[in-house]
Amino acid sequence: MKAVVYDGPKSFQITSVPDPEPASDEVLLRVVLAGVCGTDLHLHEGEFGPTYPLIPGHEILGEVVRTGDAVTGLRPGQRVVLDNTTRCGECAACRRGMGHFCRNLAAQGVNRPGGFAEYVTARAANCFAVDDLPPETAVLAEPLACVVHGLDRVALTPGSDVVVFGAGPTGLLLAQLAAHSGAGRVTVAAPTPAKLAKAAEFGVDRTVRLDRSDPSAGLAELRALAPEGFDVVVDATGAVSVLEETFGLVREGGTIVVYGMAAESASWPVPAYEVFRRELTIIGSFAQLHGIERALRVLRSGRVRTDGMITHRFSLDEYPDALAAVADSSCLKAVLAP
Ligand SMILES: [Zn+2]
Ligand SMILES: [Zn+2]
């Protein structure tokens, strides 16, 4: 089969590799769509713990081709999305119910073969049937599951005033789910007018244009919007320049959520006295944990909208173009259709 195969940071080939064989508790999937996201850009740089050789791709929609002997709940022809992570259940983290920190975490597309290929195998237990959802909606289940986890972490107080920095796929999903999780008002701040228009179309209460090179006007607008500060300030960009602004925008007793993935080497100065005196909370959220089922329910209900979110589609051979697209502000969400 054809696949994108990395043998080191920034070093990949689009090449032919043997077809994978499903174990008895696994299924063989033909990859229908695989989302390309910011995490893949970090993996391309060698960050986020890749194991080589690596076939990336962790947001996978596939069609069952064949099932292993022990698989009973799935049949050929069904479409499924994957929980790309498998936990050992035995390490210290797993035994504390924190399986996303599993010391032996197997993550397809990170340290196990992923979906930037014609075929992929997966444990049947990790598959969720999605025949009832359009493919371009279903493929967003994994990123939305990560958002579900982020909101689990925040434990939003009803009526909260929430601002989300970033109007990429994550920002748009997060802002919408926050609105449906009890927020009293949701504002999205981002540089790209077309993405802000999408946020408004999806029902976000306020949008604020934030010019990356000169954010002063946008920040002033945000401060005018919430003179006492926002209850929850979410960074869905991973940009240190955004994180630096969060303290000036969060209310006393408020919460800053570090949701976007920063470079591994990035750091930002935290005013210790302000955290102490204003009783601020800083929360991280890096992955999903048992969130796919809830994400699918939200997608099925239509509460979180995804129409028009996928703006770029590429073949496997066009993988370099897909990477370039994800790095470009004109792209909202890119997928590979192997
Ligand atoms: Zn992703
Ligand atoms: Zn474990």
State the Cα–Cα distance between residues 285 and 151, nearest whole angstrom. Answer: 9
Instruction: Write 98-104 long-range contacts (CB < 8 A, 24+).
Output: 98/289, 99/289, 99/290, 100/149, 100/286, 100/287, 100/288, 100/289
Other beta carbons within 10 Å of 206: 17
**Which architecture does CATH list for 147-284?**
3-Layer(aba) Sandwich (3.40)
Residue 190's H or E segment, with its range, is strand 185-190
Distance from Cα 95 to the centre of ligand 2, integer Å: 7
Q: Tokens at residue 45, please?
A: 């740089």
State the Cα–Cα distance between residues 261 and 228, nearest whole angstrom. Answer: 28
> Which phi-psi region, left, alpha or beta, contains residue 85 (left: φ > 0; alpha: ψ -120 to 50)?
beta
Distance from Cα 234 to the centre of ligand 2, integer Å: 29
DSSP-assigned beta bridge partners for residue 334: 36, 312
Distance from Cα 169 to the centre of ligand 1, integer Å: 10
The CA-to-CA distance between both ends of the chain, in Å, stands at 10
Distance from Cα 98 to the centre of ligand 2, integer Å: 8
pLDDT per residue of the chain (338 residues) written in tens, 0 to 9: 999 999 999 999 999 999 999 999 999 999 999 999 999 999 999 999 999 999 999 999 999 999 999 999 999 999 999 999 999 999 999 999 999 999 999 999 999 999 999 999 999 999 999 999 999 999 999 999 999 999 999 999 999 999 999 999 999 999 999 999 999 999 999 999 999 999 999 999 999 999 988 999 999 999 999 999 999 999 999 999 999 999 999 999 999 999 998 888 999 999 999 999 999 999 999 988 889 999 999 999 999 999 999 999 999 999 999 999 999 988 999 999 99
Q: Tokens at residue 111, please?
A: 């340290």
How distant, in Å, are the alpha carbons of 27, 108, 211 from that of 54? 20, 9, 37
2-140+306-336 topology per CATH: Quinone Oxidoreductase; Chain A, domain 1 (3.90.180)
Distance from Cα 115 to the centre of ligand 2, integer Å: 23
Length of the chain measured in residues: 338
Contact indicator for 306, 139 with CB cutoff of 8 Å: no
Degrees (nearest 5) of the Cα angle 217, 218, 220? 65
Distance from Cα 281 to the centre of ligand 2, integer Å: 28
Q: Tokens at residue 315, please?
A: 């073949």
* pLDDT value of position 262: 87
* pLDDT value of position 121: 98
Contact indicator for 275, 299 with CB cutoff of 8 Å: no
Distance from Cα 188 to the centre of ligand 2, integer Å: 36
Q: Tokens at residue 222, please?
A: 């945000």
* pLDDT value of position 82: 97
Q: Which ligand is nearest to the CA of 146?
A: 1
Q: Which ligand is nearest to the CA of 169?
A: 1
Distance from Cα 289 to the centre of ligand 2, integer Å: 13
State the Cα–Cα distance between residues 55 and 62, nearest whole angstrom. Answer: 15
State the Cα–Cα distance between residues 303 and 306, nearest whole angstrom. Answer: 10
Q: Which ligand is nearest to the CA of 140?
A: 1
Distance from Cα 107 to the centre of ligand 2, integer Å: 12
Degrees (nearest 5) of the Cα angle 332, 55, 70? 110
Other beta carbons within 10 Å of 128: 16
Contacts of 217 (CB under 8 A, 6+ apart): 211
State the Cα–Cα distance between residues 291 and 289, nearest whole angstrom. Answer: 5
* pLDDT value of position 264: 85
Query: How do the domains of the chain map onto residue ranges?
Result: 2-140+306-336, 147-284
Distance from Cα 84 to the centre of ligand 2, integer Å: 15
Nearest to 116 by CA among 70, 43, 60: 60
Distance from Cα 207 to the centre of ligand 1, integer Å: 24
Q: Tokens at residue 253, please?
A: 């007793």
User: Omega of the bond prior to 169 within 30 degrees of 0, cis?
Assistant: no
